[in-house]
Amino acid sequence: MARPKHQEGEPTAYDRIAEAYWAELSEKEYSKITISSLARRAGVNHNLLYYYFQNIDEMAVRFFEENTQGEVSAQFFVQALLQGKDIAPTLRENNQVRMQRVRLYARGDSAFLTGIFRKAVINTWLDGSGKSWEDLSFEDRFDLHFVIGGLTSILGTSELSDTPSKLLSFTQREIGSAAREALNRIRMKN
């Protein structure tokens, strides 16, 4: 297939597909999104989606990665929740849309999307800790999955849709403190 033509001053076909994907994902469950619905919404031929992506799953991975570049990312999630940093300044800096998109992956209606999010957070935590997956014992990996899984579940709740800064209150309570301590214990192990 030939490369799609682009008219100056207009969004590219790829950009229209991305916007259609995020709009569809915000309105319905991931499993209900189809190539046809995305093509219709983006105003492109469905074959054009196959020019860019093999399938919707590949699209989901790529759009998540593109969306999480910069401050509103798995790194932001790790820093804000696990280190108790204030997220309000980041959310004010035009990143609310990106944070809302990240939350769509954590909301729990798709194991595939939740897995993408969890993997990103775990990899970010490992990178920030100077650890590799192989460095961790079975128990440490188990604890890491448990803590990140719980935090993912919290992030995905509809109760945070209007005030994401409520996330910080979790880290200030006993259970949040225990989660941070568990991760710090793993981080400090040799």
Residue 104: closest CA among 30, 20, 19, 15:
30
20 and 41: one domain?
Answer: yes
Count of other CB atoms within 10 angstroms of residue 168:
16
Q: Which amino acid is at 6?
A: H
Domain final residue pick, 29, 51, 67: 67
Structural domain that includes position 101: 74-188
Q: For the whole model, what pTM was predicted?
A: 0.83
Kindly report, residue by residue over 152-190, the tens digit of the pLDDT. Answer: 888 888 776 666 566 667 777 898 888 888 888 888 886
Q: 41 φ, ψ to 5°?
A: -65, -40
Kindly report, residue by residue over 21-67, the tens digit of the pLDDT. Answer: 999 999 999 999 999 999 999 999 999 999 999 999 999 999 998 98
60 and 94: one domain?
Answer: no
In whole angstroms, give the CA distance from residue 176 to residue 36. Answer: 43
78 and 47: one domain?
Answer: no
Q: Judge whether 3 lies within some domain.
A: no
